[in-house]
Amino acid sequence: MNKKSIAILGGGNAGFALAGFFSYLGHTVNLYKKSLLINQKTSNYEIFSKGKLEFQSRINLVTSSIEEALKGAELIFITVPAYHHDALFDEMIDFLNQDSTVYLMPDNYGCFLLKKKLIAKGLGQYRKILSLNSVLFACRQIDYNTIVIRGIKNNIKVSSIYGEIVDEGLSLLNAIYPMFVKSSEVIDVQLSNMNPIVHTATTLMNTGWIEKTEGNFDFYSEGISSSVANVIESIDNERIELGKKLGFDLDSLLVNMQKLYNSTEKSLYSALTKSFIHTKDKGPASLDTRYINEDIPYGLMPMSALGKRLKIQTKAIDTVISLAEITTRKKFNETASMNLIDYLITSRSSKL
């Protein structure tokens, strides 16, 4: 295997697990973790993985300096929540190697923002930006050095706003771990992220329990009743209809769970509440959670905007967005929605 120099930008669960796994496979990995103290760094940072995938590895460097993390990187994986994209892209662009390839994991409409920022910096010729619909693992970091990996995705969709670079970018990914699949178009990738479909409705319909217990309940097996599953399924059906209008045959959430995790359940309610991957996950400690702060403005709101543009009713999606706004008393960022529509008007004017 051709060893790569890899930078992971994002020290949360997904970034931590990805850095440890790629290091275990023999690649040189630098992990950028902004939450560290200024100038703080650790070389040969030891990682222990338990659960579905057990290994021990050492990350080459964990650092608070994005310049150090990116130095010499051939592949760059961005795993931060989408609400951190704006600031991260501004930091990253100044140190971006023009020969490196960027993977947004998951994308959550970040590719459109990154493209705009590159053009504004006079770097519009940089085109190696690939969009992925999901992170690689269902995982949780449980202490300073330990990650528990509960599930490994069987396939992750990959595409780009620049179609000509997809094959090369996909080949690089599959040379590391062969489970990535080419998607027909970047919008297919955006609409294939399942997080907003599950997280938002479940969180909002369990607000009382979250605020009374600070999330001390099983988010999936206890938080999802048959009625909650009905709302999730309605959101999912609207997502599928949006895809159909644009020519995509999107898998349902149930089919996704069957494909990604080999679920044998026949109903969405059973698949969600009996998932060996997701059960024993506690709920969020409050409504100040990425299940709202990311999955509404960078998940459901772009779908709602797309529905309005395509004249497709998104009653369930709009209801959940409205409930989130009322409950949290927030006005959510519309950047992802506007960037999506701008892209579609430019690339698919005949469809709109």
**251: three-class secondary structure by DSSP:** coil
Task: Give the pLDDT confidence score for residue 128 in this predicted structure.
Answer: 98
DSSP 250: P
Cis peptide before 106 (omega within 30 of 0): yes
Which amino acid, 134?
Answer: S
Residue 165: strand, helix, or coil: helix
Render pLDDT for 183-235 as a digit per residue (tens, 0 to 9): 989 999 999 999 999 999 999 999 999 999 999 999 999 999 999 999 999 99
Q: Are the C-beta atoms of 191 and 248 separated by less than 8 Å?
A: yes
Q: For residue 164, give both structure tokens.
A: 């000509």
| Full-model pTM | 0.95
pLDDT digits (tens, 9 = 90+) for 24-59: 999 999 999 988 878 789 999 999 999 989 999 999
Q: Residue 116: pLDDT above 90? A: yes
With CA atoms as reference, report the closest residue to 132 among 200, 61, 182: 182
